[in-house]
Structure 1
Amino acid sequence: MDLITATVSSQAAAALCIGVGSFSDPDDLPGLAHFLEHMVFMGSEKYPAENDFDAFLKKHGGSDNASTDCERTIFQFDVHKKYFREALDRWAQFFICPLMIEDAVDREVEAVDSEYQLARPSDSHRKEMLFGSLAKPGHPMGKFCWGNAQTLKHEPGEKLINTYERLRDFWRRYYSAHYMTLAVQSRESLDTLEEWVRDIFIKIPNNGEPRPNFSHLQQPFDTPAFHKLYRVVPVRKVHALTISWAVPPQGKNYRVKPLHYISWLIGHEGAGSILSLLRKKCWALALFGGNSETGFDQNSTYSIFSVSITLTDQGYQNFYQVVHLVFQYLKMLQTQGPQQRIYEEIQKIEDNEFHYQEQTDPIEFVENICENMQLFPKQDFLTGDQLMFHYDPQVIETALSLLTPLRANLLLLSPENEGHCPLREKWFGTSYNYEIIPEEWAQRWESDLKLNPDLHLPAENLFIGQLDLSRKIIL
């Protein structure tokens, strides 16, 4: 287990990240990783009362949370620093000797099911589940990561699966110290914090098993289900278009951040941008381009690059022309090639934002850092997810070359799709339909995609502050 500490706030906090998530769910028990995240909090051998930790935090001005992603699970809490040592001991027991009593299984299944039911009306979650269903059969992206009462509670005679035993097996296999990273923040000295951590967390078991690894499952969306138009009935009354590409995993390129460079240009709103032209045509209200860096958008098997556009009624009627403008802009970027001047402007902006950022709440800070510790080498724990370290035109050019019309998938959400979407996504019940891209547009994009003179690179920004060695802004 690696450790990082910081001493910035009067409120103390800790976060622990485990290198396992829903990708490791057994095929016959979807949502087991998420369910285990819930169950470890149900008391420990040292502190057996079921809600003892939550009660302790509430009494001393604290809170806690946890989340399960595709390849990581994160636990975090904060508390008044006076009670941090005791809180750490209570919290660590969930990873040392959780009770996970069998009598609590049904109650926590209902808690997981409640989260699932609350998520069902969310268009963003519905889009993710539909998108995941497009992956190749057998790829973990197609798994039902949430879990619910149907998948986790097996009635007598239904299936010969003992959820409780499988839960304990999963904990023994994956909740191992060598998969974990820990970040703590408090105003005690570094020596004191290190002493506490060593004394408390040394007891977490280490099974020595190899880490879960899915990096061999490349190109999950190289499948006939991808590169089509999917019409979806949304929950919200909104027209929205999402153009997505699945590219090779970009984690190794974090020092260059090619997708961030591209997303900055895609999302630019000034003269020559996609959004400025769409607004002139009254076709769009907003545009977002990029990669969210969540486990869904970026993991060891792929990275997603998406352009999401909120359309007007008129934009919805002309959505293929909207797609055409996006492809024209990407062709312009590919023709012009990577621009060092633009890269260095973005780099300066990110540097300034990092060095002069507002103080983050301790619980958010440790959560971010303990995850970074899973992703980056030690020297980049603090900066690996934020800074652009060096310009590499070849890496950027390679990423740009992948964003072609022939590799794109289109998702069109609109209330107008109601009544025309007979298909249902299995878990969230999303109504959708799909169709082949019309030959007329496929032909225009494949062999007749012309540059648009109204789309061009942003002008030089002369007003970016330059960070000097004394950490002062010079204009």
Structure 2
Amino acid sequence: MSLWGNRVDCYEVARSMVAALAAPRLNAPHWQQLENGLIIIAERLPVPAVTFDLWVKVGSAVEPDAVNGVAHFLEHMVFKGSQRLKAGEFEQQVEARGAIANAATSQDYTHFYFTCAPSDFTDLVSLQTDVVLNPLLAEAEFERERRVVLKEIRRAADNPRRRAYYRMIEAAFERLPYRRPVLGPYDTIAQLPLTDLQAFHRQWYGPNQLVAVVVGDLPEAEMIDAVRAAVADHPPVTAQRSPLLPEPAFSQPQQQIYHDADLHQARLYLTWRVPGLSQLSRTYALDAIASILASGRTSRLVAQLREQQGLVSNIVASNSTYRDQGLFAITARLPVAHLDTVRSQVLAELQSLQTEPVTPAELERIRRQVVNRFIFGNERPSDRASLYGYYATLLGSLEPAFNYVDEIHALSVDDLQAAVQTYLAPEACSTIQILPGEHG
């Protein structure tokens, strides 16, 4: 079991859950906010398990460059003891009960979560909140964990997929902190003093920066009372995250070429800066366009470039929505010889979407996908807890989640065409090509 397996791509995972929402109001969570600012969301679900998911409203985007990676490092250190628990004791308590626990850091949030038997929830929620709000942050454990974090950074640097992602994200943003790795640079973490990590915790880890979500087979009042008892005595912090000014869309083509000796096929990345969650209403059409382009074997790019012509091994379209800006990306894995052809055909498809509306059949297929994903994504307590935590943390409300399918169903072919015309200009995108083999 890994309590701190970082998911650098967790924002995309969370965003994929957005597409799991639909018209039937299958969800009925209870929302309560304490005087110290803590938001508690609880829902009874008749399955023999309880998931507790504690979200912190900050991630790597709030870090100054000089301490980039401190949020992720703190995620690790949270489990290294408190005044009540010795280092490793929380993990022992979790494992002794047959529970499953983990944590993750992203650009816009950090969260700590476990799933356990209902009978173990009250004990474990007290321990989880204790290590999050009262970590010991001792020097000896800090130095030991630094080696673990540095090893994780090296593993990421050795991973071709991670390297390609970092190159794409650096090219996509010039100044926004979304361009930086969540893990931080190796040299920064190697020299990070414990005092900076302690200061980051004091600044951000208060109840008014937390969302506590509980879903499972216990009465809602019992779940809420257990969370309240664990957190009620903690005072709020004064820090507030300031909005980030989005970067303008590319005004002309951008292109960079890299080489990677570990690749067997080339990678192609085409990206556009688009609205983020701060402009939520503008994201729905882009979600639908991404699905029309490359969701399933019958989607446009998959059908043409992989199934019919065999030009790519894989092609994906995604609309990733960070809090203050989004990134629309089309990525492909393919032979080097096909790079120019595939890029041209992708951009030609976008040009076609600008001038010719999508078919009603394509739009209806997206609507059906949304309904089905909602049903499949509502079965487990962990699914619902992640969904509620994501929306409450980033938007301060659950209604956008429940209204998502209505927004998708309300889209017209004209809405999709206007979104392509506004945000996905074929002549103004960032292109990254990563070629197999050494440079030269």
Q: Name the counterpart of 1:248.
A: 275
Alpha-carbon distance in structure 1 between the residues aligned to 2:52 and 2:296: 39
Residues 168 and 230 (structure 1 numbering): CA distance in 2 closer, same or farther, change over 3 Å?
same
Alpha-carbon distance in structure 2 between the residues aligned to 1:371 and 1:331: 34
Which range is displaced more, 197-206 or 139-148? Answer: 139-148
Alpha-carbon distance in structure 2 between the residues aligned to 1:356 and 1:132: 31
Establish whether residue 237 from structure 1 lines up as the match of residue 264 from structure 2.
yes
Contact 2:388 2:398 in 1 (8 A): no
Give the greater-gyration-radius structure (CA): 1
Structure 1: any 5+ residue segments left out of the alignment?
A: 155-160, 292-296, 421-475
Alpha-carbon distance in structure 2 between the residues aligned to 1:24 and 1:255: 24
Q: Name the counterpart of 1:321.
A: 341
Establish whether residue 175 from structure 1 lines up as the match of residue 205 from structure 2.
yes
Contact 1:113 1:148 in 2 (8 A): no
Please report the RMSD computed on the Cα atoms of aligned residues, expressed in angstroms. Answer: 2.8
- TM-score under structure 1 normalisation? 0.76
Q: Name the counterpart of 1:186.
A: 216
Contact 1:60 1:79 in 2 (8 A): yes
Residues 387 and 61 (structure 1 numbering): CA distance in 2 closer, same or farther, change over 3 Å?
farther
Alpha-carbon distance in structure 1 between the residues aligned to 2:332 and 2:433: 10
Establish whether residue 370 from structure 1 lines up as the match of residue 389 from structure 2.
yes
Give 1:152 deviation, angstroms: 2.4
Q: 1:173-226: CA deviations, max 9, x gaps?
A: 11122221111123121111121122212233312332x12432433x7498x7
Residues 393 and 189 (structure 1 numbering): CA distance in 2 closer, same or farther, change over 3 Å?
same
Alpha-carbon distance in structure 2 between the residues aligned to 1:60 and 1:353: 32
Alpha-carbon distance in structure 1 between the residues aligned to 2:218 and 2:424: 49
Residues 113 and 8 (structure 1 numbering): CA distance in 2 closer, same or farther, change over 3 Å?
farther
Which range is displaced more, 17-26 or 256-265? Answer: 256-265
Contact 1:18 1:181 in 2 (8 A): yes
Alpha-carbon distance in structure 1 between the residues aligned to 2:155 and 2:403: 34
> Match of 2:242, as an amino acid?
N
Q: 1:377-407: CA deviations, max 9, x gaps?
A: 2334456499735225665344301212222
Give 1:131 deviation, angstroms: 2.5
Aligned residue for 1:304, secondary structure, equals strand
Contact 1:11 1:79 in 2 (8 A): yes
Q: Name the counterpart of 2:399.
A: 379
Aligned residue for 2:171, secondary structure, equals coil
Match of 1:57 among 68, 73, 94: 94
Alpha-carbon distance in structure 2 between the residues aligned to 1:195 and 1:272: 48
Match of 1:334 among 354, 357, 380: 354
Match of 1:409 among 430, 435, 438: 430
Contact 1:177 1:204 in 2 (8 A): yes
Contact 2:67 2:189 in 1 (8 A): yes
Which range is displaced more, 381-390 or 256-265? Answer: 381-390
Contact 1:267 1:287 in 2 (8 A): yes
Residues 256 and 68 (structure 1 numbering): CA distance in 2 closer, same or farther, change over 3 Å?
closer
Aligned residue for 1:274, secondary structure, equals helix
Match of 1:76 among 113, 116, 121: 113
Alpha-carbon distance in structure 2 between the residues aligned to 1:364 and 1:373: 14
Aligned residue for 2:122, secondary structure, equals helix
Aligned residue for 1:406, secondary structure, equals coil
Contact 1:256 1:389 in 2 (8 A): no
Which range is displaced more, 86-95 or 302-311? Answer: 302-311
Give 1:409 deviation, angstroms: 1.8
Structure 2: any 5+ residue segments left out of the alignment?
A: 1-37
Alpha-carbon distance in structure 2 between the residues aligned to 1:149 and 1:106: 14
Contact 2:58 2:110 in 1 (8 A): yes
Establish whether residue 267 from structure 1 lines up as the match of residue 294 from structure 2.
yes
Establish whether residue 305 from structure 1 lines up as the match of residue 343 from structure 2.
no
Which range is displaced more, 316-325 or 12-21? Answer: 316-325
> Match of 1:252, as an amino acid?
Q
Give 1:169 deviation, angstroms: 1.2
Residues 254 and 11 (structure 1 numbering): CA distance in 2 closer, same or farther, change over 3 Å?
farther
Q: Name the counterpart of 1:33.
A: 71
Alpha-carbon distance in structure 2 between the residues aligned to 1:205 and 1:33: 21
Give 1:121 deviation, angstroms: 2.5
The structure whose RCO (Cα within 8 Å, separation 6+) is larger is 2
Residues 138 and 388 (structure 1 numbering): CA distance in 2 closer, same or farther, change over 3 Å?
closer
Say how many residue pairs are matched: 399
Aligned residue for 2:149, secondary structure, equals helix
Q: Name the counterpart of 2:132.
A: 95
Alpha-carbon distance in structure 1 between the residues aligned to 2:407 and 2:234: 33
Which range is displaced more, 299-308 or 83-92? Answer: 299-308
Instruction: Give the structure with the higher percent helix.
Output: 2
Establish whether residue 199 from structure 1 lines up as the match of residue 229 from structure 2.
yes
Alpha-carbon distance in structure 1 between the residues aligned to 2:348 and 2:429: 14
Alpha-carbon distance in structure 2 between the residues aligned to 1:243 and 1:379: 32
> Match of 1:228, as an amino acid?
Q
Residues 270 and 63 (structure 1 numbering): CA distance in 2 closer, same or farther, change over 3 Å?
closer
